[in-house]
Amino acid sequence: MDGLVYVWILPGTFMMGCSPNDSACEKPEQPAHKVTITKGFWIGQTETTQAAYRKVVGKTPRASEGADLSLPADLVEWRNARDYCAAVGMRLPTEAEWEYAARGGIAAARYGDLEAIAWYSANDEGKLHAVAKKQPNNYGLFDMVGNAAEWVSDWYDAAYYSSSPENDPQGPQLDDEMQAIMNGRSKTVRGRGSFRRETRVSARWAVLPTMSLGNLGFRCAGN
């Protein structure tokens, strides 16, 4: 429906969080813990593009209609990203699904040489770039680190990894989404292309779901 390619990811088990010998690892990425994704899922081969967003929603999220439609769709609030995915029969990936897919079967902090796989502060000239211009990971997924950061479905909790279930973790569970938003709870963002030390598959950030930021987009997943 949106014209994008989706890649099938087989179920499996991996270590989520701090990668071995990763000196840049932060406390919210700890402890590293075993996670099993029990069901295969589809995930966007690329970040959702401006072209796809316009096809589904009828307009691009950028104020400038002259924006390159091959760029990632950014300036999208979390709920708008969620609604887009629902409109194409998909959903936002869980944080665990996102990291499992991002690693591409690689335990290291990055799935390849940083310059080869990612747009980040040292090479992006302070702007987003068209999707799929860097090398993909072993699952054929592009820009899983670098370029636009990406919303996932989970609420953010810096200490969640200490109590995360092993099978298909869904993130902290809150009874009332609207109340949580009103109370200033954040959603989780992954894959940001910023400084070198932050451009890693396990890095995670908290962003208010009502914020629409440049360089913050999403990709959809589904079963």
Rounded to whole angstroms, how far apart are CA atoms 215 and 143?
A: 12
Range 127-134 average pLDDT: 95
Residue 64 has pLDDT above 60, yes or no: no
Predicted local confidence at residue 173, as pLDDT: 85
Range 57-84 average pLDDT: 86
Residue 10 has pLDDT above 90, yes or no: yes
Place of tokens 């390619």: 5
| pLDDT single digits (tens) 190-214 | 998 789 999 999 999 999 999 999 8
Token pair recorded at residue 123: 């090479």
Helix (H) or strand (E) holding 100: helix 95-103
**Residue 66: pLDDT band with limits 50, 70, 90:** low
Place of tokens 């914020």: 211
Range 107-135 average pLDDT: 96
* Domain regions of the chain by residue span: 6-222
Rounded to whole angstroms, how far apart are CA atoms 71 and 69?
A: 5
**Residue 63: pLDDT band with limits 50, 70, 90:** low
Rounded to whole angstroms, how far apart are CA atoms 145 and 156?
A: 19
Range 127-154 average pLDDT: 97
Predicted local confidence at residue 163, as pLDDT: 96
Range 162-167 average pLDDT: 97
pTM of structure: 0.95
CB burial of 13-49 (b: ≥16 within 10 Å; e: otherwise) equals: eebbbbbeebebbbebbeebbebebeeebbbbbbbbb
Rounded to whole angstroms, how far apart are CA atoms 151 and 56?
A: 18
Query: What's the fold here for domain 6-222?
Result: paralog of FGE (formylglycine-generating enzyme) (3.90.1580)
**Residue 65: pLDDT band with limits 50, 70, 90:** low
Range 57-81 average pLDDT: 85
Determine what percent of the chain falls in helix, strand and coil, rounding each to the nearest 5: 20, 20, 60
Q: Give Cα separations from 60 to 10, 57, 71, 146 (angstroms).
A: 32, 8, 11, 21
Range 129-157 average pLDDT: 97
**Residue 1: pLDDT band with limits 50, 70, 90:** confident
What percent of the chain shows pLDDT beyond 90? 87
Predicted local confidence at residue 68, as pLDDT: 84
Residue 175 has pLDDT above 90, yes or no: no
Predicted local confidence at residue 144, as pLDDT: 98
